Amino acid sequence: MALRLEEDEGELSEINVTPFIDVILVLLIVFMVAAPLSTVDVPVNLPGSSAPAGTRPEEPLWLTVTAERALMLGEAAVAPDDLAAALDARTGGKRDTPVFLRADRTVDYAALMQVLDRLRQAGYLKVALVGLEGAP
């Protein structure tokens, strides 16, 4: 017994691209709407934090920026150029040690960014910013 294939049971050689084009157009519209939302530049006046206090290590490494823009590592004054060496001496070269950064309220943003840059250049990337607990 031989099987016979009828002529109209052949494979369909044409692809229907209409649903594909519909999906592409919908994705295009979604990306056109979402793209400007991700690049919004909004001026911000950051409020104080009322977040609960996190856990603190037994001997935290405090880096303080005073109102006079002086750096204090623990209780000792440190020159900005000597910060990396002082941190290495204090941590034994362990660069994954968290540094708790405190700054006086009058310290401007540029001065704080300079300190953060010095920490990054020294290889200390785990930096915790310290604030007052229960600030409004």
What is the Cα–Cα distance from 14 to 20, expressed in whole angstroms? 14
What is the Cα–Cα distance from 5 to 131, expressed in whole angstroms? 81
For the chain, how many helices (H) and strands (E)?
Answer: 3, 5
Query: Would you list the domain boundaries of the chain?
Result: 61-129
CATH topology of domain 61-129: Nucleotidyltransferase; domain 5 (3.30.420)
If one compares 26 and 107, the residue with the highest pLDDT of the two is: 26
Largest CA distance in the chain: 101
pLDDT band at 76 (very low <50, low <70, confident <90, very high): confident
Burial status of residue 29 (CB atoms within 10 A of its CB: 0-12, 13-18, 19 or more): exposed
pLDDT band at 1 (very low <50, low <70, confident <90, very high): low
pLDDT band at 47 (very low <50, low <70, confident <90, very high): very low
Give residue 84's pLDDT: 92
**CB atoms near residue 105 (< 10 Å):** 7
Greatest mean pLDDT among 8-17, 58-67, 113-122 lies in: 113-122
pLDDT band at 133 (very low <50, low <70, confident <90, very high): low
